[in-house]
């Protein structure tokens, strides 16, 4: 296993806080004539054509003055919803307007970050076999990702519908009959994507631990579909759809030594950080994701980057630190990935662990520190361990 040595001399590095830039890709507030149909409506921004509704009258425009209330509509009038079960509304996106996040005419170029948010609720029906939400389509290929309430779950979550997708994942304790605003962030990575979903967060671009944090199959899309259906006349409302690109200021650090070696789930575990690079602010939260469910793990820290494949001879992946390595193993610091395959830790920069468990140090201005998560895994029936990629944070 790993050996823990003494802390070496400091590495000096400059740092800057990432700037927040968000640009709308497409918006739709459904401000159309009431009563009326959504079919062939062309409002909103960022689209290449008008809405097309199968069976034309299945999805209509609602008004809160005479229809069931929708607590999380955008508050400026109308919203869309189903009048008949299994109705579907499709609309193509204009991908020519944002070539920086598109690839071969589809949104989802590697390195892009896209946010998708909308308000929704199941306003009629009964618990049972139903679904309702927003699908991302690869036009001419098929549905790749579903956001909302997957079939027969009665909860909010996702369903990775692509050819390499995994079963539906939902957020425990949620109920699709309670109106919510779903905010989804997708970071497009080589060969896979990291998806985070928040249910009615307090911010438009949350940096808090997501309610769902997972890795999905490689995704490209250029069409949206609102749809729902069920066996008990199940109907949904939708409003205030927003697609944007950009990353929040809270994302800090520089990834290296990645992608990490795939674990037993087939995914490469990821390490990210939120907060501030100001040492005096003492505001850094580490998050490891895309790990096996309900597995134990810790964060490790060092001043020097490295690369040791299969450290100790019986561990999977690569240790991306060298020299003196500290471990976050104090009270409450050993983590469990739980039902999301992820865990987070709020750091105390005034008590940074060293190889000597009785000694801690403070992070100071001008220092660069490197982090990694180390977690248990089972491969071929044998217990082993694996690592995320590395993350360097330079403090100022």
- Examine the fold and report which residue of 201, 220, 247 is the final residue of a domain before the chain moves on: 247
Using a pLDDT cut of 70, give the percent of the chain over it.
92
Q: What predicted TM-score, i.e. pTM, was given to this entire model?
A: 0.62
* pLDDT for the residue numbered 339: 78
Query: Over the stretch 185-220, which tens digit does the pLDDT of each residue have?
Result: 999 988 889 899 999 987 788 877 889 998 898 999
Does residue 79 sit in the same domain as residue 178?
A: yes
Stretch among 7-11, 160-164, 341-345 having the lowest mean pLDDT: 7-11
**In the 8-state DSSP scheme, what is residue 396?**
-
Residue 59 to residue 51: CA distance in whole angstroms:
10
Q: How many helices and strands in the chain, by DSSP H and E?
A: 0, 31
Query: Over the stretch 157-178, which tens digit does the pLDDT of each residue have?
Result: 999 987 666 789 999 999 999 9
* pLDDT for the residue numbered 380: 86
* pLDDT for the residue numbered 248: 63
Higher pLDDT, 125 or 323: 323
Does residue 137 sit in the same domain as residue 224?
A: yes
Query: Over the stretch 40-74, which tens digit does the pLDDT of each residue have?
Result: 999 999 999 999 999 999 999 998 777 777 877 66
Does residue 200 sit in the same domain as residue 115?
A: yes
* pLDDT for the residue numbered 4: 26
Does residue 151 sit in the same domain as residue 178?
A: yes
Does residue 328 sit in the same domain as residue 236?
A: no
Does residue 192 sit in the same domain as residue 54?
A: yes
Contact status, residue 272 vs residue 390, Cβ threshold 8 Å: no
* pLDDT for the residue numbered 251: 73
Taking alpha carbons only, the member of 379, 261, 382 closest to residue 319 is 261
Task: Give the chain's end-to-end CA distance (angstroms, integer).
Answer: 34
Task: pLDDT band for 76, please (50, 70, 90 cuts).
Answer: low
Does residue 339 sit in the same domain as residue 367?
A: yes
β partners of residue 47 = 93
Does residue 57 sit in the same domain as residue 167?
A: yes
Task: pLDDT band for 79, please (50, 70, 90 cuts).
Answer: very high
Q: For residue 349, is it within any domain?
A: yes
Q: For residue 9, is it within any domain?
A: no
Helix, strand or coil, per DSSP, at residue 196: strand
pLDDT at 6 over 80: no
Does residue 72 sit in the same domain as residue 206?
A: yes
Taking alpha carbons only, the member of 243, 182, 240 closest to residue 30 is 240
Does residue 271 sit in the same domain as residue 376?
A: yes
Q: How many other C-beta atoms are found inside a 10 Å radius of the C-beta of residue 345?
A: 20
Per the listing, tokens 């071929």 go with: 380
pLDDT at 279 over 60: yes
Q: For residue 257, is it within any domain?
A: yes
313 phi, psi to nearest 5 deg? 85, -15
Q: For residue 1, is it within any domain?
A: no
Q: For residue 102, is it within any domain?
A: yes
Instruction: For residue 385, give the CATH number of its domain.
Output: 2.60.40
- Examine the fold and report which residue of 230, 247, 264 is the final residue of a domain before the chain moves on: 247
Instruction: For residue 76, give the CATH number of its domain.
Output: 2.60.120.200
* pLDDT for the residue numbered 197: 95
* pLDDT for the residue numbered 303: 95
- How many domains are there within the chain? 2
Residue 132 to residue 226: CA distance in whole angstroms:
8
Q: Which of 21-35, 351-365, 366-380 has the highest mean pLDDT?
A: 366-380
Does residue 241 sit in the same domain as residue 281?
A: no
- Examine the fold and report which residue of 247, 272, 299 is the final residue of a domain before the chain moves on: 247
Determine the structural domain holding residue 285 and report its residue range. 251-394
Taking alpha carbons only, the member of 123, 138, 136, 132 closest to residue 153 is 132
Does residue 92 sit in the same domain as residue 200?
A: yes
Q: For residue 15, is it within any domain?
A: no
pLDDT at 18 over 80: no
pLDDT at 75 over 70: no
């Amino acid at each position: 296993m790993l050996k823990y040595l003494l802390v070496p001399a400091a590495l000096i590095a400059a740092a800057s806080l990432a700037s927040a830039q968000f640009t709308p890709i497409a918006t739709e507030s459904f401000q159309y004539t009431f009563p009326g149909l959504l079919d062939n409506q062309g409002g909103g921004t960022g689209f290449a054509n008008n809405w097309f509704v199968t069976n034309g009258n299945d999805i209509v425009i609602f008004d809160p003055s005479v229809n069931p209330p929708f607590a999380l509509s955008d508050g400026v009038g109308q919203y869309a919803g189903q009048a008949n079960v299994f109705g579907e509304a499709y609309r193509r996106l204009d991908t020519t307007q944002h070539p920086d996040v598109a690839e071969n005419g589809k949104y989802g170029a590697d390195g892009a970050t896209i946010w998708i948010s909308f308000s929704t609720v199941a306003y009629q029906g009964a618990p049972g076999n139903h679904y309702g939400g927003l699908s991302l389509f690869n036009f001419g290929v098929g549905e790749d990702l579903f956001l909302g309430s997957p079939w027969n779950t009665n909860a909010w979550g996702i369903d990775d519908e692509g050819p390499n997708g995994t079963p539906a994942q939902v957020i425990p304790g949620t109920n699709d009959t309670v109106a919510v605003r779903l905010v989804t962030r997708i970071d497009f990575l080589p060969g896979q994507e990291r998806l985070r979903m928040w249910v009615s967060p307090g911010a438009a671009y949350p940096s808090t631990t997501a309610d769902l944090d997972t890795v999905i199959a490689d995704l490209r899309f250029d069409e949206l579909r609102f749809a729902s259906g069920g066996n008990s006349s199940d109907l949904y409302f939708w409003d205030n759809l927003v697609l944007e690109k950009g990353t929040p200021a809270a994302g800090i650090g520089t990834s290296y030594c990645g992608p990490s070696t795939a674990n037993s789930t087939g995914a490469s575990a990821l390490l990210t950080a939120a907060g501030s690079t100001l040492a005096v602010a003492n505001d850094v939260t580490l998050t490891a994701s895309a790990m096996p469910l309900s597995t134990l793990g810790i964060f490790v820290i060092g001043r020097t980057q490295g690369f040791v494949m299969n450290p100790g001879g019986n561990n999977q992946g690569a240790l991306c630190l060298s020299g003196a390595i500290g471990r976050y193993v104090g009270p409450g610091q050993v983590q469990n990935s739980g039902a999301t395959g992820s865990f987070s830790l709020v750091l105390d920069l005034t008590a940074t662990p060293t190889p000597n468990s009785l000694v801690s140090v403070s992070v100071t201005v001008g220092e660069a520190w490197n982090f990694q998560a180390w977690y248990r895994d089972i491969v071929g029936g044998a217990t082993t361990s694996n690592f995320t990629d590395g993350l360097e944070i330079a403090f100022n």
